[in-house]
Amino acid sequence: MRVWLGFVVALLLAAPARAEDADTLRKDGEVLARQGSYAAAIEKFKAADRLAPRAAHACMIGLSYMRRKLWAQAELYFTRCTRRAESGETLPDWVPAAKEQLAAGLAESQVTPVVIEVIPAGVAAEVTVSSLPGETFDPQTIHLPAGSYAITVKAPGFATQEQTIELFGTRAPVRASFTLVAEAPPPLRTRDVSRRRWSNRLFIVGGVAAVGGAVAHALAWNQRGKLEDARLANDLEGYRDNETAFDVTRTLTFTLYGVTAVSVGAALYLRMTGNEPPVQVSAGFGADRAMVTIGWSR
């Protein structure tokens, strides 16, 4: 319980500190912007926005880009500023006038409206444009000067798509449409068990069975000697005891030798037939019998 209380208190203390850091960065950016250091101001505003995404931060980034006459970037951030304000956040008083300046700047520039649309709509897609390094944005309309541009769209669960467009400075809108395709699932991992590998395994099984058969054979031979001694001594009880042990070791010997023969024979056959589909080998043992089955398909 104390651990959880400590964790909650730490979160409550960290939240104001986080907001304060964002406010400090914003104020530093405002100072730099008043000094005309717009590139440095943009970095401060973006750092503040990473800590606390706000409509005001996006507006100040857009204003700084506009002062540098980077109209496409300014347009992106003023659009982001407006969308964030829809959640109820109050915008700075200067935003309407800044938007009018942006519209005037776009009108005076030789830029082409590029309509970027993603199908299906509503997918959380991220768009990047080669001329706007480090900027990601939602599908929307942006204005770009004449040139060649690579537009990339990424969305969770969908394959990344890229499209190159050529702009010639005309005012006619250019549409860049992306139809997203579900990302293919990773291929299933399968084991390549060739007939050669199976033959190696069968050789091992046959070798182990041969050793076991030799041991069982020696035991059966020993039991047979004891059985013969009991018969010559006319020891009926000893004969019966050794007879049971002899039957068990004899059956085990035949079984293991049978497994050896079948395994080695199957291994040799597989070696001669090449690398074809895998085989299935199974064995069963009973009180007085043993069975080995081998199957494959061609």
- The pTM of the full predicted model, rounded to 2 decimals, is 0.58
For position 287, what pLDDT does the model report?
47
Q: Token digits for 89?
A: 């956040």
Residue 147 gets the label, from left (phi > 0), alpha (psi -120 to 50) or beta, of left
Partners of residue 167 on adjacent β-strands = 147
Mean pLDDT per 10-residue segment, the chain (298 residues) = 42 46 94 96 96 95 96 96 90 94 94 96 94 95 96 96 95 95 74 66 83 82 74 71 76 84 81 59 53 56
For position 59, what pLDDT does the model report?
96
For position 274, what pLDDT does the model report?
59
Measured between alpha carbons, how far is residue 17 from residues 60, 140, 278 in Å? 22, 35, 64
Burial class (CB in 10 A: 0-12, 13-18, 19+), 65: buried
Helix 195-232, helix 236-273: angle, nearest 10: 160
Q: Are 249 and 220 in contact (CB under 8 A)?
A: yes
What is the chain's alpha carbon radius of gyration, rounded to the nearest angstrom? 41
Say which residue the tokens 């024979």 belong to. 265
Cis peptide leading into 16, omega within 30 of 0? no
Q: Token digits for 90?
A: 């109050």
